[in-house]
Copies of this chain bind each other. A is one copy, B any other.
Amino acid sequence: MAAQNGIASHQSQAVKSGILAGDAEADLTQSAYAHTACLVYGLHLCGRVGENKARRPGLQAIGSLLTSSHNKIPARRTICHHKEWSEFIPIICHGWAASSLTLPDGRRQILSFLLPGDVVSSACLLEPMSGRTVEAITEVTYRKFKRSELKSILFKYPDLLEKVTTAWIEERAQADELALDLGRRTADERIARLILNLAEKLAKCGTIIGQAMEFPLRQRHIADATGLTPVHVSKVLGEFQRAGMIKIRSRSLTIANATELRRTADWR
């Protein structure tokens, strides 16, 4: 349990002041730039960095517009406990995390996996979120933004707000799909769909190397995401591999037979 939260560093106040004045491209330090992609992806602000609109600061500047602390946390530690949903919004920069609900007796449901660029939930941009817990799966770097600032920025630039609502809709649609999966689909379907969903998400982030994709999930995560038991997950994954649909080794997953996997996922 070597808890070295030591690498956490704080962005300068200088950046902050420039921002609220809305004076844009200024203060675009190298470090601020590096993490801009997070916020951009998270809000679906644009397809590529560099594409600007007239009425507000350049997109790559938004990241620098806000006060934020920059933290690194080891795997398996909780980033945001379900109690402390106060004024900060965490956004993942590197690594995988999971956002979940937990019952007092320990049963747990993972609502979504957070990849680099994901904000926990667009919903929490404007209002604090209820009892959700966010925990790191791999080592995770993330930033914490101050809700009040983010909020004022959003309301200042209506087209940003528009983007947020779009992201909202999409998230909501995913939440609904999740309910459908959990309520009405078989274990095989759920697991196959989870894999395909993650593959798609990773493809967007461009984190797929050849056919293989980074796959740091423990079977316990898959179980908690699909409403199943780790034991059963193990069996199903075993079958999938024996059937030649996927290959898993050393924290990476390859989809060997996409057609067959899609078929068993009842995909689209």
Contact = CB atoms under 8 A, between A and B. Distances in A.
Given A123-B168, A155-B158, A266-B103, A130 B173 contact: yes
State the number of copies, please: 2
B109 A180 contact: yes
B227 A182 contact: yes
A175 B165 contact: no
Contacts of A129: 169, 173
A175 B175 contact: yes
Contacts of A101: 176-177, 179-180
A176 B227 contact: no
B172 A123 contact: yes
Interface in A177-214: 177-180, 182-185
A60 interface: no
Given A155-B158, A169-B129, A266-B103, A179 B109 contact: yes
Interface string A98-125: 0001010001110100000000010110
